[in-house]
Amino acid sequence: MKLVKGDRVRVLSGKDRGKQGSVTRVLPGEGKVIVDGVNVAKKHQKPTRATMQGGIIDKDMPIPASNVAVLCPKGHPTRVGFEFASDGTKRRVCKKCGAEL
């Protein structure tokens, strides 16, 4: 899994195809990610002592990580590559233009 929380991504397939958002959660075990505002499901929430309020709430559901493309800081969708900096640290780079992600 090359995605991390906070990445800007574009959805490639499914009902939210073409949408963009940032990754709010990564589920490596399932190979899925949760993207802000993508694959929203209406949940019927019962009132709880904590919220004191029920009703229908929007909840972002996980989508397969293979259905999203990372967006480069320069704005184009790309794939993630890895590069070692001179000090030995690994960094993530755009495979198209080499910009750091």
> Which positions touch Zn ion (CB under 5 A)?
72, 74, 94, 96-97, 99
CA distances from 70 to 2, 28, 58 (A): 9, 16, 24
Q: Which is nearer to Zn ion, 75 or 88 (CB)?
A: 75
Q: Which is nearer to Zn ion, 23 or 94 (CB)?
A: 94
The four Cα atoms 31, 14, 58, 72 give a dihedral, to 10 degrees, of 70
Q: Which is nearer to Zn ion, 34 or 101 (CB)?
A: 101
Residue type, 60: D
In angstroms, give the least distance from the CB of 92 to Zn ion.
11
In angstroms, give the least distance from the CB of 57 to Zn ion.
36
Rounded CA-CA distance 5/96 in Å is 21
Helix (H, G, I), strand (E, B) or coil at 65: helix
In angstroms, give the least distance from the CB of 43 to Zn ion.
36
